[in-house]
Structure 1
């Protein structure tokens, strides 16, 4: 009889349909750009934000106060970063049990918008100053309204939640009323004063600027070495007539004095400056008391040199050589004649280089003050500094301290950067042209100095220079009458818990009331406020909230009755602003209306300067936190979150403003993010073509990818973004999406009635629950401390490593093949259900669209949304540190097994790991931990495994970092089960052909 050669496997039934394979419509490809708008519409329809407010009644409020962006252009990548961080903060705190409120807002006043309208006017050949101020303000308002609508839609497209139906606007009538009221608090408490000091001034925009409105760019400037002649030398008489001196000593001193006078008179003190335009306003020269100075004489000159043989110059010794080099005098062309002491310098009288110039009208004939000052350096320049206190704060402060301001302040420069028309030689010349380019003033001044012999050298220098961040034009320091808030004057409001002055309150608030993320933010703001001058509140513009005050005609700013402080007048102003907005200040008859019958309008001048826009935004705590029903009970925000530039901007102005009105900081936490750079770490610039536009990222990848980029970045430092980085972000998203898809596919088989109590679960499931317990703490603490990078990386690693690469890989067999009622399968499904609820809610603050998609795949319904859920509580009983410690040992041994299997796979000795039945050689202590060969074989995804404490053969596989463990891979014995693919000895001996015992039972249960 012939042998039977029939292929029995071809007669085995196809068991595929008997497996509990994943079932889900959740697509592998997200298609976010097309699908996200649908979720936005759905959230709008079901009113998620409002429903959260209704459900949150009784919860602890948590308020992130939104720093207002300007309503004047499309969003840039910094906006996307900023608003996404805020959104993650708000959503995460809501899902952790708070009533998390977010009221978006816009800064509507000030130069950013006013400048846009002026640009439109200039394009049409119109003069802004000839337009009715109320009409002009209305154009600014309409411009802002248009951009608010555009930006609102752009923010919403990023998935930002909030009260978009009722945002705050600094130009709302109610807001303008409260800003005016906050200003009146400064007025009535005595910290407001009018002063005249140098402030940063934009000649192009014709207004003062705050430090926050200035950015620094390289600028090429003229630089000059100017000669101030010594016209007299007179030591104090006591130096030459001391009664204790002998006649010979007295005669020697007198001779030395005469010698010094002969040496110094006719010499020149040389100053160096990069602002030649300030020379006409010079009133003094200062020197350093601790520097070494010398008198130098020119002994030879080259061609084309302004110095002449015999000229004498006084210079700091350290910089004498470089100074003469700039004058084209080489070594050997000059010599040091003698020392010059600080006392001798103080005895000199200097003349302005233009003194006595023909046609000067005596403008510069007064002697220049000459004294020591602590801000002089001998690191560069000449060791002397020319002082124009009208154009420099250090000089201003020096002479204010000396009580000499009335002798040194000038008003030579007009608001457009031109010199006053009657200034000799230079009247009408401009420091800057209207387009921000170099004017003709510097050239004219240098030419005149050359003409009168006042220059030693000249040149050009490229240096960092302040520019207006709006017009991009250079700014100047200019002395103008401005309104200031005195930050070291006692505030007369009785709110002295944290100090009596604005500065004192601010510094105490920084250390006692605010938590800083990162901590460096504290140091930055503290140092700024510690050293800052008084706050310049006034701007010479039209679009904003005016300084609602009146000054007595003929009175001096120092007079006690200079400012009108009348509560009744203030109340009338506020009442008008409430219904008409700040335009009421500019309408005909406004002065008479507000002064009423109590004050004669003829006695008072109405102030028409507008408030610094930073006062507007600094006041937002008053009309958003304190004034609104959805604000806070105490008017204090839990979080202010902005970019690092806001330490000199919104964080700063809000602190000063609140310390002047409520006596403390308006926030409990300050979170700061860095700047966004391109992939190479360069600053983004349209001219370089390296900008990343949020709208384009959303169109290509979807908003969730942009949000994921934010979550993956360390936002406390500068972040990088670009095509390759976004590709990497998209890859991380894809891996995470696959994990979520696996959960959805398998949890479709979950039935609540089959759930397994954690105490009855196998160790593998209890290990996952332990990890969930630990991770729950990590997630909550990360969100509470605003560390989203740590939150996402922890969840991502858990999802892709612990779950996808380990747990899912191990439990696929039980999920697909086990009988429906097996403990392993039911426990795994129970864990998957728990994973679903935690991963979706943990990720929802970051991946707002994807988390919603995952949620609705399993929990559909008209009003269903993951964003209406809280993060589930995690039972303390899930935590099992002892099990985790044992699991670390098991995972280490498993690594050796999988390493050995992979080696055999590379060598083509096996295909799938189920073809193997490894022998694992264990130390005795490890053998006490790993005792169940079937469970360990399941973990290693092999058909069988053998555990032994016998000595391992020399050729067994080992890993250096797992000492004492060795593995020999042998083939599994038996036949391949046609349902689960394990190779077992009992396959083919059961009722169902080609199956193992486990699969046979599963099939029997299905029949």
Structure 2
């Protein structure tokens, strides 16, 4: 400024600068609990239920287990559910959410037993009702802990009245649902191999099993041929050949391979594959240490013979292939058990071992033959079922995985001991095989093996009497709309009645249901809902009268359970009480097994959706949402249970999330030290950051979390928070008399409204399809790119410097419209922050963003021609901005207002569009020249924007001391150092 220029006044106080107390720093860890208290005080969830005339929308909560603090999977799960519920509520539904807990079952029982062991107490010495009461108390404690932890994450719901599977009414309904299976003919008692935990002494469901590496024994066992049937030969010559071949085979042995030596005492058959090529192999030489002898002959699959004989220490040249062995020949073989005829066995194994064909036999590993113990393997069992050989099943192993007293040599030896370690059974069986000459090789191998997910101990397959629900018997309940059997109904539901998010969930569950065996309902434990049924003494399970089916008895049980809970089943005189005077109690036994906890949780649709006032009219939920492991867990059991009692699936939509991994994609484990604890994230960042992580991830697949990822999430949050803060400041003094009608707004404001109309459709569609990542990325990009970097940047000048102009008021009107949409669109995700933003503008004792809906957005805001025009304008703007950035980098200018560039535009239509708007304001320059003249060589260009070139020129004139634009008219008006616009604004 020249020395003779009079000093200009300070104009800063005349600008309409943003005014807000909304802090830059969120302080979420400290402030979030205050909003939780406020929501509880004003009763937000209950007040939403008072809104009338809204279509119900119910997400049914898959119950977490009441056992331990929350992990990151819980946080992910509950946050997704919360976003589903909140978004549907704000889209106009009555979105109900009743949280629940799974309270029965082995994990809780196991914890109480651990406490007993520490005190030197034996569970079996404690009264069963007293023991169950301790389990109940333990579960109650953890329900209270987890409830507070879930609430801290901002999860909305009926926390005052959740559902618990151990509530008396719930126990009554679970028992009633079981008794429906009893009455409709699908319940039966059978004896088949089930997954059995020797440590926990109970059968396990598939969902209770996980797979870990395990080192197993491997043995190759030869079975002597006792008979080779040459039947089928025609003619003397062919008969002679057949007889010779049969003679050869009767001197041979069929070799099996197994990783479970303990199952050899229960062998009942050897299986072969009809499509496999087999051969007869003769030993011609042996090394010094070998269990084979010269002249021994073995039948083996050709593809595996060399590896088998190598395992037996035979080298090349020590064996030869004699001839083919056909499937017809194998069909005619009868074998001897390796322990047949052993002294001291009292003939226990002196039975014939048949050869059977099986589709499960391959020549990819082993010997091409499968040792078959139908009491200890599912495929083995199915082979015997197909042949109606169930009378050949064995019962050799007890509940502690010990050989029972009737088994020679091995009685009392355990397969797995009570600590989950290998017992003595395997080595004892191997030693006895060596003694019997029944082994040619042994080794060890590490492979994936099933373990109990609770005790982490290996399991076994064990034949036990269990209670089953048949999936293929006709359900005698008259609800045949979707099929006559549970399997038919389930498959129909999956395909015709349910939507899957993602669709791969459909494929996974469909294939599981298609191939699954009958459902094992019983567990040999104490803490659960008992199988409320009675069996007739001295009657076989196959007898029609074996199970008591009596409606009056069932009614007495239901009434007692409602009043006293399931403990009454174990009270003295319970049998006589329930059977009453119309049934002779002396003729019946009371069943004391408890139901699989998956039956408990699978029944929740009945006592939550059907029975509660905040349930659903038809007992069917709009959404079930859980992790992908629940395809074999809750989704699965709920489907089977409901198809047996309701006739169809209890859900219309199934949403699935993946597993949470660390930043490197590794599974989290305490031993690796890579776990992320929700409580610590909340303490450091606040729950909204954790919720934002959920919204930013593609939760339908496995997702990652870690310190660096959370830092990135926090950065996104800060950017969004700054956008909201700017809006609050600009709206600080907005009043209704400043509102401008849409038709009177400048083009730029109408373009923003067009974008809002587009976004409204995308946001609602995204929420309806549970796509939170899509919703957030759409809104975030709009807020940070379209608004902060474009619209706000352009309109700052008008907002700050214009007086009561149409342009400024139109901008404020649009900001008000934006405010209502952004806060409600984001409220289901950032529940605390959007409440803070809302209350900054609309304080009040009863005010809450969570009490309002997403506003309807008029469709006539859509203006595609206008949007196309402004897309071209923004492209040209990008060239101008890039050209000025070069000048700023070279320190030719300090700010874009120092520039007055010349913009050459080849396309006449685009040029006309630019001339129709205040393009210098769009580019935030003091002036701009638009021309259709050819671009000079020195013009700045961007390759992606053809036909546009920018020639830099400095702005001509003086700098307005109020708006900082450089204009020729500055200094000519009453207010010193101002341009005409600022002079007029000052009055």
Q: Which interval holds the TM-score relative to the shorter structure?
A: over 0.9
Tell me how far apart the structure 1 counterparts of residues 562 and 657 of structure 2 sit (CA, whole Å): 36
Tell me how far apart the structure 2 counterparts of residues 823 and 750 of structure 1 sit (CA, whole Å): 13
Deviation at 1:37, TM superposition (A): 0.5
Instruction: Describe the SS at the equivalent of 1:852.
Output: helix
Alignment equivalent of 2:714, drawn from 720, 730, 740: 730
Deviation at 1:608, TM superposition (A): 0.4
Please say if 1:52 is aligned against 2:48: yes
Tell me how far apart the structure 2 counterparts of residues 88 and 910 of structure 1 sit (CA, whole Å): 48
Match of 1:34 in 2: 30
Q: Classify 1:774/1:596 alpha carbon distance in 2 versus 1 (closer, same or farther; 3 Å).
A: same
Tell me how far apart the structure 1 counterparts of residues 358 and 892 of structure 2 sit (CA, whole Å): 86
Alignment equivalent of 1:769, drawn from 753, 760, 774: 753
Match of 1:614 in 2: 598
Tell me how far apart the structure 1 counterparts of residues 584 and 622 of structure 2 sit (CA, whole Å): 47
Tell me how far apart the structure 2 counterparts of residues 826 and 338 of structure 1 sit (CA, whole Å): 98
Match of 1:263 in 2: 248
1:932-954: CA deviations, max 9, x gaps? Answer: 37710000000000001111110
1:757-780: CA deviations, max 9, x gaps? Answer: 111101111111000000000000
Please say if 1:113 is aligned against 2:108: yes
Tell me how far apart the structure 2 counterparts of residues 303 and 651 of structure 1 sit (CA, whole Å): 59
Please say if 1:512 is aligned against 2:509: no
Match of 1:62 in 2: 57
Match of 1:594 in 2: 578
Deviation at 1:257, TM superposition (A): 2.9
Alignment equivalent of 1:990, drawn from 946, 970, 973: 973
Q: Is the 8 A contact 1:927 1:948 kept in 2?
A: no
Instruction: Describe the SS at the equivalent of 2:464.
Output: strand
Match of 2:324 in 1: 339
Tell me how far apart the structure 1 counterparts of residues 833 and 100 of structure 2 sit (CA, whole Å): 27
Unaligned runs of 5+ in 2: none
Deviation at 1:261, TM superposition (A): 3.0
Deviation at 1:258, TM superposition (A): 3.1
Tell me how far apart the structure 1 counterparts of residues 614 and 718 of structure 2 sit (CA, whole Å): 39
TM-score using structure 1 length: 0.97
Match of 1:170 in 2: 165
1:651-672: CA deviations, max 9, x gaps? Answer: 0000000000010110000000
Match of 2:474 in 1: 490
Q: Is the 8 A contact 1:198 1:389 kept in 2?
A: yes
Tell me how far apart the structure 2 counterparts of residues 258 and 524 of structure 1 sit (CA, whole Å): 52
Match of 1:288 in 2: 273
Deviation at 1:397, TM superposition (A): 1.0
Deviation at 1:536, TM superposition (A): 0.5
Alignment equivalent of 1:87, drawn from 69, 82, 91: 82
**Which moved further from structure 2: 936-945 or 947-956?**
947-956
Match of 1:401 in 2: 386
1:701-747: CA deviations, max 9, x gaps? Answer: 00000000000000010000000000000000000000000000111
Alignment equivalent of 1:923, drawn from 906, 923, 926: 906
Please say if 1:881 is aligned against 2:878: no
Alignment equivalent of 1:230, drawn from 212, 225, 232: 225
1:623-638 matches, within 5 Å, as: 623-638=607-622
Tell me how far apart the structure 2 counterparts of residues 931 and 559 of structure 1 sit (CA, whole Å): 90
Deviation at 1:339, TM superposition (A): 1.2
1:945-964: CA deviations, max 9, x gaps? Answer: 00011111101000101111
Instruction: Describe the SS at the equivalent of 1:668.
Output: strand
Alignment equivalent of 2:439, drawn from 440, 447, 455: 455
Please say if 1:896 is aligned against 2:879: yes
Deviation at 1:345, TM superposition (A): 1.4
Q: Is the 8 A contact 1:495 1:663 kept in 2?
A: yes
Q: Is the 8 A contact 2:906 2:934 kept in 1?
A: no
Tell me how far apart the structure 1 counterparts of residues 469 and 839 of structure 2 sit (CA, whole Å): 55
Deviation at 1:348, TM superposition (A): 1.8
Unaligned runs of 5+ in 1: none
Tell me how far apart the structure 1 counterparts of residues 861 and 331 of structure 2 sit (CA, whole Å): 81
**Which moved further from structure 2: 932-941 or 321-330?**
932-941
1:181-217: CA deviations, max 9, x gaps? Answer: 1011111111100000111111111111111111111
Match of 1:201 in 2: 196
Alignment equivalent of 1:145, drawn from 137, 140, 143: 140
1:581-603: CA deviations, max 9, x gaps? Answer: 00010000000000000011100
Deviation at 1:67, TM superposition (A): 0.1
Q: Is the 8 A contact 1:933 1:947 kept in 2?
A: no
TM-score using structure 2 length: 0.99
Alignment equivalent of 1:784, drawn from 758, 762, 768: 768
Deviation at 1:931, TM superposition (A): 4.3
Instruction: Describe the SS at the equivalent of 1:958.
Output: strand
Tell me how far apart the structure 1 counterparts of residues 917 and 663 of structure 2 sit (CA, whole Å): 50
Instruction: Describe the SS at the equivalent of 1:455.
Output: coil
Tell me how far apart the structure 2 counterparts of residues 482 and 779 of structure 1 sit (CA, whole Å): 51
Tell me how far apart the structure 1 counterparts of residues 908 and 765 of structure 2 sit (CA, whole Å): 37
Tell me how far apart the structure 2 counterparts of residues 630 and 793 of structure 1 sit (CA, whole Å): 33
Please say if 1:326 is aligned against 2:321: no
Tell me how far apart the structure 1 counterparts of residues 228 and 649 of structure 2 sit (CA, whole Å): 55
Deviation at 1:152, TM superposition (A): 0.1
Instruction: Describe the SS at the equivalent of 1:8.
Output: coil
1:844-870: CA deviations, max 9, x gaps? Answer: 000000000000000000010000010
Match of 2:3 in 1: 6
1:624-773 matches, within 5 Å, as: 624-773=608-757
Deviation at 1:253, TM superposition (A): 2.6
Tell me how far apart the structure 1 counterparts of residues 787 and 983 of structure 2 sit (CA, whole Å): 29
Tell me how far apart the structure 2 counterparts of residues 328 and 163 of structure 1 sit (CA, whole Å): 69
Tell me how far apart the structure 1 counterparts of residues 336 and 163 of structure 2 sit (CA, whole Å): 58
Please say if 1:974 is aligned against 2:957: yes
Please say if 1:548 is aligned against 2:532: yes
Tell me how far apart the structure 2 counterparts of residues 395 and 929 of structure 1 sit (CA, whole Å): 82
Alignment equivalent of 1:796, drawn from 780, 789, 798: 780
Deviation at 1:233, TM superposition (A): 1.7
Match of 1:914 in 2: 897
Tell me how far apart the structure 2 counterparts of residues 612 and 5 of structure 1 sit (CA, whole Å): 91
Q: Is the 8 A contact 1:927 1:949 kept in 2?
A: no
Please say if 1:818 is aligned against 2:802: yes
Tell me how far apart the structure 2 counterparts of residues 902 and 749 of structure 1 sit (CA, whole Å): 35
Q: Is the 8 A contact 1:749 1:829 kept in 2?
A: no
Alignment equivalent of 1:354, drawn from 307, 331, 339: 339
Instruction: Describe the SS at the equivalent of 2:624.
Output: strand
Q: Is the 8 A contact 1:886 1:929 kept in 2?
A: no
State the number of aligned residues: 987
Deviation at 1:5, TM superposition (A): 5.6
Deviation at 1:752, TM superposition (A): 0.9
Q: Is the 8 A contact 1:234 1:348 kept in 2?
A: yes
Match of 1:15 in 2: 11
Alignment equivalent of 1:851, drawn from 834, 841, 844: 834
Please say if 1:378 is aligned against 2:363: yes
Please say if 1:124 is aligned against 2:119: yes
Deviation at 1:749, TM superposition (A): 2.2
1:15-37: CA deviations, max 9, x gaps? Answer: 00000101001000100001000
Tell me how far apart the structure 2 counterparts of residues 580 and 949 of structure 1 sit (CA, whole Å): 89
Instruction: Describe the SS at the equivalent of 1:143.
Output: helix
Q: Classify 1:954/1:567 alpha carbon distance in 2 versus 1 (closer, same or farther; 3 Å).
A: same
Please say if 1:277 is aligned against 2:251: no
Instruction: Describe the SS at the equivalent of 1:493.
Output: coil
Instruction: Describe the SS at the equivalent of 1:122.
Output: helix
Q: Classify 1:702/1:389 alpha carbon distance in 2 versus 1 (closer, same or farther; 3 Å).
A: same
Tell me how far apart the structure 2 counterparts of residues 539 and 304 of structure 1 sit (CA, whole Å): 48
Match of 1:305 in 2: 290
Instruction: Describe the SS at the equivalent of 1:963.
Output: strand
Tell me how far apart the structure 1 counterparts of residues 644 and 726 of structure 2 sit (CA, whole Å): 57
Q: Classify 1:259/1:931 alpha carbon distance in 2 versus 1 (closer, same or farther; 3 Å).
A: closer
1:159-200: CA deviations, max 9, x gaps? Answer: 000000000000000000000010111111111000001111
